[in-house]
């Protein structure tokens, strides 16, 4: 611990390219270590320390971190007595092995104030920036931006944000080889690239705590994030198939009728979801036997078809419920300033229910126990943890661990972790899956997949989904998608252009929303090329055939394409588990040397092969697509080859979403299956020539945790562009011969 005229500073390595910086006036604040969500351990191997007149320098093979010397302050001038802070200054420079400055922290803030009856501080730090730096991440923001430069981000969980829910994951990634992980769960304001600096400011705290993560590539930055906060587990294979939901299936017969409808039509399906109000009362944690007379039998029947089920479980309890008095007596609810359970939410007229205090480990353990005994015992496989912001806003209230203002953004981490830990203990070889509506630092390690909350069913909302999900991926949250078709009741302005999908026969919306089937088709095309594909919504009907006779064959074709891509997607999921980097990738991640990609917010890479360009405007039958420089590109539909570094007008008739494949790609294509419980052989290994390529194909049983113990099988596919031959490192996981499956795409 260093002393800079009363400011205490600690530099703690977590690896050769990662440091934890803590600054405080009170040495005890330094000694507390990293905060919530940080599961990695300090690692100073290979680091050295040297002190000289310039300051204290900590050096590894990758970095040199200098806490600059600070001279004893002179007596203040008359003006300084009034306008200069008395906080002893601290400045820190982070340089690469070549001596080039990567980033510098130029100042810190510790300003006393009172929040929620607690005497505390507003804390902050400011960082310099290299000219032209671009910034990404900080969780979910639905205002339509990707590059955060020049914006001020209110990093908080806010269900009621005007453009759609915001989620705070305080990981700020740059295109200059570093990222900042801010270690404070209170409401935080971040201003990247304003007045030539980056400023973080949190509402509650007694210290400044942050991590600098460096790397030569963006993938190295995400590997650093995973080292600090935990790996992203490989979801069950079913999570890569179709997840069918509705708000809500009223009866067991209705739910089974939808499953029957998919089977009757020969459409693949993997997961049926039972959403809210399947219970007898909020907080009963039961199944209404009037509407669902035999949930155990229902699940047995679905399992016999190779399907799985996902059940919504809320952390809210109404006073008349069977558990309320017990939970209140134990103090296991979020409390108001008088120590009573906080009940209901005045805004949105949401006036029923107290919130389980999931910061309390005993409450978390109890919650999982009731899920296990009351719900998993009926055969439900996985659980949807809704309202994880939490929905009852914690500001002005109190958790067991402290003020709701101090821990404002923490709830989704501890709430999902409780279920993940319980499942690991009681179902050790059954792979966990959680659907959650919000995240925080480290929440990806719970095995959760996330979605963008209850968005509108409109073209405007669809357009915002692309940068919103890319922002979450850029924050280290690899599995994020959206409710296909939007959640809110379908309504929108009258279509301005000719409607591309005849709405005849559609039952998913009211008759006056004529372009809704077109919107659903475009949304489904987009979500077919995101990490997870889930249909959901508060509308009369949601299943694939309920958008009209014109939409159904288009949707069926895209669903089959999604299932053909599962060998590719599942292999990418394994890669994310091993390395930490997301496979839904904003273009800056792979083409950082091309300045034109910095703020392209409506295109992205899905893995190393696919450039995806969703159509997000009504009536459009083409759209401009920028093909990044440094590669050639194949139009997926026509095989026409293009040189990168140009914008093309891509055809987009309603049956197509523009897709391009990078030259030098290997794409395994799966055979048709009913669902992922079937062993899926490969139909082809498609090669797009233009450079040497490698792709690691992976497969396993899809449901157990054996993959964490070395289970499953891999084969590295290797394309030699000069010889025009593809080889494999060994037998394919499917048992097939690779050479017999090769299809080389010849560009036109």
**Confidence band of 449 (pLDDT split at 50, 70, 90):** very high
Residue 630: predicted pLDDT? 95
Give me the percent of the chain exceeding a pLDDT of 90.
94
Residue 296: predicted pLDDT? 98
**Confidence band of 352 (pLDDT split at 50, 70, 90):** confident
Per-residue exposure over 673-701, b if at least 16 CB sit within 10 Å of its own CB, e if not? bbbbbeebebeebbbbbbeebebebbbbe
Residue 492: predicted pLDDT? 78
Q: What is the DSSP string of 698-739?
A: EE--SSSSGGGGT-SEEEEEEEETTTTEEEESSS-TTS--GG
523 in any annotated domain: no
344 in any annotated domain: no
Q: Work out the mean pLDDT of the chain and round it to a whole number.
A: 96
The boundaries of the domain holding residue 193 are 2-214
Instruction: Please give the average per-residue pLDDT across 69-78, as a whole number.
Output: 83
**Confidence band of 364 (pLDDT split at 50, 70, 90):** very high
Residue 586: predicted pLDDT? 98
Closest CA to 446 of 433, 429, 465, 460: 433
195 in any annotated domain: yes
* Per-residue pLDDT at 71 exceeds 90: no
Q: Which residues contact residue 306 at a Cβ distance below 8 angstroms, ignoring those fewer than 6 apart? A: 270, 674, 675, 676, 677, 678
Instruction: Please give the average per-residue pLDDT across 412-422, as a whole number.
Output: 98
Helix axes 551-564, 566-579, angle to 10 degrees: 50
* Per-residue pLDDT at 84 exceeds 80: no
pLDDT tens digits, one per residue of 176-218:
999 999 999 999 999 999 999 999 999 999 999 999 999 999 9
Do you know the residue count of the chain?
748
What pairs with residue 436 in β-bridges? 385, 450
79 in any annotated domain: yes
Residue 668: predicted pLDDT? 98
Would you state the structure tokens that stand for residue 15, as one six-digit string?
Answer: 């690896």
- 3-class SS at 298? helix
* Per-residue pLDDT at 116 exceeds 90: yes
Distance CA 242, CA 676 (A): 10
* Per-residue pLDDT at 70 exceeds 80: yes
Give the number of other CB atoms < 10 A from CB of residue 293.
13
* Per-residue pLDDT at 77 exceeds 90: no
Distance CA 605, CA 601 (A): 11
* Per-residue pLDDT at 703 exceeds 90: yes
What's the N-to-C CA distance of the chain in angstroms?
Answer: 64
| CATH code (residue 196) | 2.60.40.1760
Q: What is the pTM of this model?
A: 0.97
DSSP β-ladder status, 480-481 and 448-451 = parallel
Residue 82: predicted pLDDT? 74
Residue 347: predicted pLDDT? 73
359 in any annotated domain: no
**DSSP summary character for residue 370:** H
Give the number of other CB atoms < 10 A from CB of residue 428.
9
Instruction: Please give the average per-residue pLDDT across 148-153, as a whole number.
Output: 97
Q: Which residues contact residue 340 at a Cβ distance below 8 angstroms, ignoring those fewer than 6 apart? A: none
Q: What is the DSSP string of 99-144?
A: S-EEEEEEEEEEEEEEETTEEEEEEEEEEE--TT--EEESSB--SS
361 in any annotated domain: no
Helix axes 551-564, 516-528, angle to 10 degrees: 10
Residue 676: predicted pLDDT? 98
151 in any annotated domain: yes
Query: Considering its fold, how many domains does the chain have in total?
Result: 1
**Confidence band of 350 (pLDDT split at 50, 70, 90):** confident
186 in any annotated domain: yes
Distance CA 498, CA 514 (A): 10
- Weakest-pLDDT range from 311-325, 329-343, 486-500: 486-500
Residue 499: predicted pLDDT? 97
Q: Which residues contact residue 229 at a Cβ distance below 8 angstroms, ignoring those fewer than 6 apart? A: 37, 38, 39, 40, 181, 441, 442, 444, 445, 476
pLDDT tens digits, one per residue of 450-486:
999 999 999 999 999 999 999 999 999 999 999 999 9
Within the chain, how many helices (H) and strands (E) appear? 12, 43
Distance CA 321, CA 483 (A): 30
Residue 482: predicted pLDDT? 97
- Describe the chain by its helix, strand, coil percentages, rounded to 5: 25, 30, 45
* Per-residue pLDDT at 349 exceeds 90: no
Residue 234: predicted pLDDT? 98
Residue 748: predicted pLDDT? 77
Residue 72: predicted pLDDT? 82
391: exposed, middle or buried (Cβ count in 10 Å: 0-12, 13-18, 19+) = buried
* Per-residue pLDDT at 74 exceeds 90: no
């Amino acid at each position: 611990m260093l002393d800079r005229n009363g400011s205490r500073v600690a530099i703690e390595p977590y690896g050769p390219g990662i440091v934890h910086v803590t600054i405080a006036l009170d040495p005890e604040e330094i000694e507390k270590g990293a905060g919530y969500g940080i599961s990695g351990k300090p690692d100073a191997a290979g680091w050295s320390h040297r002190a000289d007149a310039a300051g204290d320098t900590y050096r590894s093979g990758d970095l040199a971190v200098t806490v600059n010397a600070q001279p004893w302050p002179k007596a203040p001038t008359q003006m300084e007595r009034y306008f200069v802070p008395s906080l002893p200054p601290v400045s820190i420079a982070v340089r690469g092995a070549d001596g080039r400055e990567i980033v510098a922290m130029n100042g810190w803030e510790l300003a006393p104030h009172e929040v929620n009856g607690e005497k505390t501080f507003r804390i902050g730090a400011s960082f310099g920036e290299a000219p032209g730096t671009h910034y990404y991440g900080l969780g979910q923001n639905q205002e339509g931006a990707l590059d955060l430069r020049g914006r001020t981000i209110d990093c908080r969980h806010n269900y009621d944000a005007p453009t759609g829910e915001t989620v705070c994951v305080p990981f700020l990634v740059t295109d200059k080889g570093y990222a900042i992980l801010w270690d404070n769960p209170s409401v935080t304001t971040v201003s990247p690239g304003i007045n030539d600096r980056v400023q973080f400011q949190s509402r509650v705290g007694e210290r400044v705590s942050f991590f600098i993560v460096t790397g030569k590539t963006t993938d190295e930055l995400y590997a650093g994030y995973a080292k600090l906060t935990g790996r992203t587990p490989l979801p069950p294979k079913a999570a890569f198939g179709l997840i069918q939901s509705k708000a809500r299936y009223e009866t067991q017969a209705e739910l089974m009728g939808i499953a029957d409808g998919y089977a009757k039509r020969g459409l693949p399906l993997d997961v049926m979801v039972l959403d809210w109000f399947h219970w007898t009362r909020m907080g009963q944690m039961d199944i209404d036997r009037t509407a669902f007379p035999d949930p155990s039998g229902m699940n047995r029947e679905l399992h016999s078809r190779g399907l799985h089920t996902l059940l919504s479980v809320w952390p809210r309890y109404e006073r008349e419920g069977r558990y309320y008095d017990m939970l209140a007596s134990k103090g296991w609810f979020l409390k108001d300033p008088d120590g009573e359970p906080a009940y209901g939410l005045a805004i949105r007229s949401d006036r029923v229910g107290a919130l389980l205090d999931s910061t309390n480990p005993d409450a978390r353990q109890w919650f999982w126990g009731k899920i296990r005994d009351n719900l998993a015992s009926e055969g439900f496989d996985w659980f949807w943890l809704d309202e994880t912001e939490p929905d009852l806003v914690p500001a002005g209230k109190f958790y067991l661990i402290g003020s709701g203002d101090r821990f404002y953004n923490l709830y989704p981490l501890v709430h999902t972790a409780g279920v993940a830990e319980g499942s690991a203990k009681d179902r050790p070889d059954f792979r966990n899956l959680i659907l959650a509506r919000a995240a925080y630092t480290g929440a990806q390690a719970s095995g959760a997949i996330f979605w963008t909350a209850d968005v509108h069913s409109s073209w405007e909302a669809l357009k915002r989904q692309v940068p919103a999900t890319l922002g979450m991926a850029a924050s280290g949250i690899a599995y994020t998608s959206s409710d296909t078709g939007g959640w809110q009741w379908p309504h929108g302005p009258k279509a301005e252009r000719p409607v591309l999908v005849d709405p005849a026969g559609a039952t998913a919306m009211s008759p006056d929303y004529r372009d809704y089937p077109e919107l659903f088709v475009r949304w489904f095309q987009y979500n077919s090329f995101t990490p997870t594909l889930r249909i959901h919504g508060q509308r009369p009907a949601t299943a694939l055939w309920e958008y009209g006779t014109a939409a159904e064959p288009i949707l069926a074709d895209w669903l089959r394409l999604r299932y053909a891509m599962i060998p590719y997607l599942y292999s990418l999921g394994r890669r994310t588990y091993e390395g930490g980097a997301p496979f839904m990738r904003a273009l800056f991640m792979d083409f950082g040397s091309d300045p034109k990609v910095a703020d392209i917010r409506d295109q992205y890479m899905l893995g190393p092969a696919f450039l995806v360009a969703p159509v997000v405007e009504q009536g459009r039958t083409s759209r401009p697509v920028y093909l990044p420089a440094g590669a050639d590109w194949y139009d997926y539909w026509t095989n026409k080859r293009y040189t990168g570094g140009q914008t093309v007008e891509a055809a987009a008739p309603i049956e197509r979403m523009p897709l391009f494949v990078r030259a030098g790609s290997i794409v395994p294509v799966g055979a048709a299956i009913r669902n992922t419980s079937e062993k899926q052989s490969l139909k082809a290994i498609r090669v797009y020539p233009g450079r040497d390529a490698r792709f690691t194909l992976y497969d396993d049983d899809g449901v157990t945790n054996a993959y964490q113990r070395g289970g499953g099988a891999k084969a590295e596919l290797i394309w030699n562009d000069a010889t025009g031959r593809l080889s494999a490192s060994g037998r394919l996981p499917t048992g097939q011969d690779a050479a017999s499956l090769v299809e080389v795409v010849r560009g036109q």
